[in-house]
Structure formats: C-alpha cells, structure tokens
Amino acid sequence: MGPSAIRYAGLAGQLESAGVSPTDAGDLAVPHHATRDADAGPANAKHVQEVEEVTTSLADAVSTALAEETTPLALGGDHSIAIGSLVGSARDADIGVIWFDAHGDFNTPSTSPSGNVHGMPLAAALGIGDFEGAEWANAAGLEAENVAIVGLRSVDGPEAEAIRDTDVTVYTMSDIDERGITDVTNDALDVATDGTDGVHISLDLDWLDPREAPGVGTPVRGGVTYREAHAAMELVARSEAMRSFELVEVNPILDEHNETATLATELAASAFGKRIL
C-alpha cells in the first residue's frame, strides 16, 4: 500500500515540478504474505524466500533503468527492498550509498532480535555474516568504505558491534545536533562519492521525527525536522552524484491524512532538483 499512497499523494506532479519527466513502471509482483510460510526459509529470516524473489526482480528493473540512462526511483514498502535497489545499482558500476535512516539495518539472521529482513538490507548488500556469498543479496560494486549512515539513533547491541567491525561511516543524530545537517550531509557525500561512479540514496521515512512522519512502522523519537530533511535532499541534488533512489517504510495504515506519503513526494522532488528559486 505504500507505493499507492505515494502515488496518490502526487509523486508524478512533484517530480515534474523538479524538471523531471517521470515514467511509472508499475508495481512488481509481490507474493501475498498470507499465502506463504514466513519461516519456510533459513532460521530467523522471515519471508526471506519472498524477499529474494522480489528483490531479484527489482534488481533487474533497476539495472535496466540505468542501462536506459534513466534514474530509478524505487518505492516501498519496507526497507528489505533496498537489497534489490543496491544489487541492481551496483551490478555494472562501483557505487556509494547514503543511508538516511533512524536504524542501521545491519542485522543478520544470527543477530536479529525479530527476524525481520527489513532490519538486514545493508548487511545483506555488503555480504556480512550469514549473507556472505549470497549472490542474490550481495551488491557487487559496493564497498563498506563508501557507505554512510546518516541520522542513526536506534541500533541493537550486536548490530552496533557489526557496524564498528566494518569501514562504514556513521553519523548519528548527535552528530547532526552538534554539526548541523549541512556539514554532515556534505561529509556523507564525500564518503559515498570517493572513487565511485555514483551514489544510491536510501531514504527511510522513519529518519524523520515521528511528528513529521507518523506513518512508519518503527518510529523513533528525536529524528530530523522537515526542513533538515529537505536541506539534505537539496544537497544530494546539487552534488549531481545520485545514481538511484528509494523511498521506503511509508505505511498508510499508520499515517495521518496521508501526511507521510505526501512528505515522501516532497523529499523526492528535492532530491531530484526542485528548488525554491
């Protein structure tokens, strides 16, 4: 329902106002969870077989869009779709990633307290732990040294340890409080563009404070403001480094008057170049 809510909130019009000519490629086929056994795959990775099925299709769609010299924009849905976005974007290029999120999404089945794959996509793409050698999940052209997580404020203990054991760069909400969103985003862009062909932007709406974005599955108080989020996306646009983009974790069941979906469309427009003047 997330992608439908984002479309209904006026995504196409927002992108057009940014000077983009959008093409809606439609929805990928997604198995209904009620028809599948969540625990049919490896232990503590719910619906991982379905995630593999969907993200493999998404990876092909993203790769095809890039081959056609367009910029893919993926809509979720939960953050597990990022596995497909990253694999597709990194299939024929070396990429960096900026992960705008309250969470690290660096768990694996061995460390996850819930077994939800939407808490694992960054670890999966980097081949961490249980995901080592999982071709469907590993992003070939992505190295940890080109990954920046921005706005982290909720992380599990083993997950934090796993992040510290890599070359991933993390900017917490404390960093944003102390240094400001402009300096932090510019530093993240430096990390993600260092020696790469382009940057994948992953924007989880729970990056924002729940007062700004109530319609998310795992809200965490103390997130960025409306204006800080736009400022970050405007810097992304000015960098001209964005290769691919995704909006995730819009849940209209939890939203209020489609506010979160509307916010998603506005932030996408800023990332694609919409300016005040």
Q: List active site positions.
A: 79, 101, 103, 105, 118, 204, 206, 249
User: Is 194 annotated as contributing to ligand binding?
Assistant: no
**Residue 103 known to bind ligand:** yes
CA dihedral angle for residue 134, residue 96, residue 83, residue 5, rounded to 10 degrees: 180
Cα(168)–Cα(148) distance, integer angstroms: 6
Q: What are the φ and ψ backbone dihedral angles of 154, each rounded to 5 degrees?
A: -145, 110
Q: What is the DSSP string of 102-144?
A: SB-----TTT-SS--GGG-HHHHHHT-GGGTT-TTT--TTEEE
The encoded tokens of residue 45 equal 């990775």
Q: Are 75 and 249 in contact (CB under 8 A)?
A: no
Is 230 annotated to bind a ligand? Reply is: no
33 is known to lie in a ligand binding site = no
Is 79 annotated as a binding-site member?
yes
Q: Cα–Cα distance between 140 and 88 in angstroms, integer?
A: 9
Cα–Cα distance, 166 to 173 (Å, whole number):
20
**Is 47 within any annotated ligand binding site?**
no
CB neighbour list of residue 18: distance below 8 Å, 6 or more residues apart: 269, 270, 272, 273, 274
The SS3 call for residue 270 is helix
CA distances from 263 to 173, 229, 237, 250 (A): 20, 10, 17, 10
CB atoms within 10 A of CB 186: 15
Nearest CA to 39 among 31, 48, 30? 48
Q: Report the 3 state secondary structure along 163-210.
A: HHCCCCEEEEHHHHHHHCHHHHHHHHHHHHHCCCCEEEEEEEHHHECC
Known binding residues for Mn(2+): 79, 101, 103, 105, 204, 206
